[in-house]
């Protein structure tokens, strides 16, 4: 019997001017970024033009990703900025070179 290996992502996105930060969880980061970039889901991220991936973490279990997201949503903005800048000091869109091959 084979075990299915799942992968979940906690991610932070922003807009062109890096003013608004959004934290989310998904099981398919490439698909989710395609949705954000094309405003396919109505809501906060499309309203504020949030489509630049600044940071992400990978988890095997969805509950771990959700727990981290809930915790991070309580963080002060500066803490999130510090986290982003530890890994992505120039605020480069980490998904900028992705080719979106969505089924």
The phi-psi region of residue 89 (left if phi > 0; otherwise alpha if psi is between -120 and 50; otherwise beta) is: alpha
Give the pLDDT confidence of 10-20 residue by residue, as tens digits: 999 999 999 99
pLDDT at 103 over 60: no
> How far is Cα 96 from Cα 33, in angstroms, rounded to an integer?
10
Higher pLDDT among residues 52 and 100, named by residue: 52
At 3, is the pLDDT very low, low, confident or very high (cuts 50, 70, 90)?
Answer: low
CA distance 80 to 21: 8
For each of the domains in the chain, give its residue range(s) and CATH number, in order of start: 8-87 (3.40.1440.10)
Looking at residue 99, what is its pLDDT?
A: 75
Tell me, what's the pLDDT at 102?
55
User: Using one digit for the tens of pLDDT, what is the confidence trace for 33-89?
Assistant: 999 999 998 999 999 999 999 999 999 999 999 999 999 999 999 999 999 999 999
> What is the pTM (predicted TM-score) of this model?
0.90
């Amino acid at each position: 019997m084979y075990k299915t290996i799942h992968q979940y992502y906690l991610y932070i996105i922003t807009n062109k001017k890096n003013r608004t930060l959004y934290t989310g969880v998904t099981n398919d980061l490439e698909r989710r970024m395609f949705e954000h970039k094309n405003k396919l889901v109505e809501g906060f991220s499309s309203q504020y033009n949030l489509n630049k991936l600044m940071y992400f973490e990978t988890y095997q279990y969805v509950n771990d990703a959700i727990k981290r997201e809930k915790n991070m949503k309580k963080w002060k903005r500066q803490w999130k900025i510090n986290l982003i800048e530890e890994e992505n000091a120039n605020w480069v869109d980490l998904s900028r070179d992705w080719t979106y091959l969505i089924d």
